[in-house]
A and B are shown apart, each in its own frame.
Chain A
Amino acid sequence: MRQSLAILILLFSFHMLLAQDIPTYKFTDLERKISKESAEKTLVLNFWATWCAPCIKELPYFESLHQEGEDLDVKVLLVSLDMAKDKAEKFVEKKQLQSEVVYLDEVDFNAWINKISPDWSGAIPATLFVKPGGKQMFYEGQFTKEELYDKVKSFSYQND
């Protein structure tokens, strides 16, 4: 009995190790993260949520962008706007997402949407591209893989 309990505890702690812990961010944390991550590479920041069907459809393209990040010189950051963080965590674990994910814990949307882009209506999915030097490009809507790659390439390689 004691032994099986020990195994259970072991299994449980192993599970905890595997389970993706997503950090909780306030908007100011996200702003800091954006400037840090875009200092040397093009940052691709995608706003998503587990309940958003078009977001889930395009996630694999961001994952593949993340995997090819080294070659393309991009960093992918997925910002979850889920209502509860554990929903996002379970999803990340189930789908074995490899890109970095953060949870944005803000209830007052109107306070920060325009700071990401004045062009953003508030609908998701939405994606922000930020280049070293601070140049930004915003896109609202769902990408196909080709569209996402085209956007990244044309944005990163375009001369300022």
Chain B
Amino acid sequence: MKWYYVIISVLALGIGLSASIMRESGYQVGDYATDFSLESVNGEMVSLADYEEAKGFIVVFTCNTCPYAKMYEQRIIKLHKAYAEQGYPVVAINPNCPERSPGDSMSEMQNRSKNKNYPFAYLQDKSQETSRTYGATNTPQVYLLNKEEKGKLKIAYIGTIDNNYKDATKADVHYVQDAVDALIAGEKIPQTKTKAIGCTIKWKMT
């Protein structure tokens, strides 16, 4: 009888371990992203599949409260304005747990989106499952997705927006812009992975 328990617990441990490893690593460039259904500041549930015309997405994990997210806010708006019509809209996801970060509650998100005239969808990842699946670590962080045949979404770029967080006018490498331009032109993306200092995502206390 005992060996039975041993096998069960070894199996359970294995499943647990692989689940936790997958959770830690998240997506890499070249992986296919899963769609989600998240509540927007308008009260609607939004999925990537809703954007039938889109050729891809600039998914940005961002929030109301992080100073870096605020510094990049206008740049995120600009990205949407430049690329939505060309088929690559911004979809912004707030990954923070509002209990831990009250400034990131749905009503605060609604205020910010209204005051700053967000032209893009601003979604709350209440369960944080999407942020976990994508492997988002800090805000702001971009995942550029490119639509392939049958609507599959391949991750083309992960990282930061440009190379000068303090002053957009002094940035001379625009990673996201360059990546989207390359996708549109059917060229190779110059840099597919970058890193930036950012605010840790406020995960739910477990």
Binding site for B on A (CB under 8 A): 47, 51-52, 54, 81, 83, 107-111, 113-114, 120-125, 141
Contact = CB atoms under 8 A, between A and B. Distances in A.
Nearest to A142: B200
Contacts of A107: 163-167, 170
Contact of A54 (B170, B194, B198, B200): B200
8 contacts: A51-B199, A107-B170, A109-B195, A111-B163, A113-B195, A113-B196, A113-B197, A125-B200
B164 A123 contact: no
A122 B167 contact: no
B195 A108 contact: no
Given A109-B165, A111-B163, A122 B198 contact: yes
A114 B170 contact: no
A120 B195 CA distance: 9
A123 B138 contact: yes
B110 interface: no
A123 B195 CA distance: 9
Interface in B81-105: none
A125 B198 CA distance: 10
Given A120-B195, A122-B196, A123-B198, 19 more contacts: A47-B197, A83-B67, A83-B71, A107-B164, A108-B163, A108-B164, A109-B160, A109-B165, A109-B195, A110-B159, A110-B160, A110-B195, A110-B196, A113-B196, A122-B198, A123-B137, A123-B197, A124-B199, A125-B200
A150 B200 CA distance: 23
B12 to A, nearest CB: 27
B159 to A, nearest CB: 7
Rank and list the top 3 A-B pairs by shortest CB-CB distance, nearest first.
A121-B137, A123-B138, A123-B200
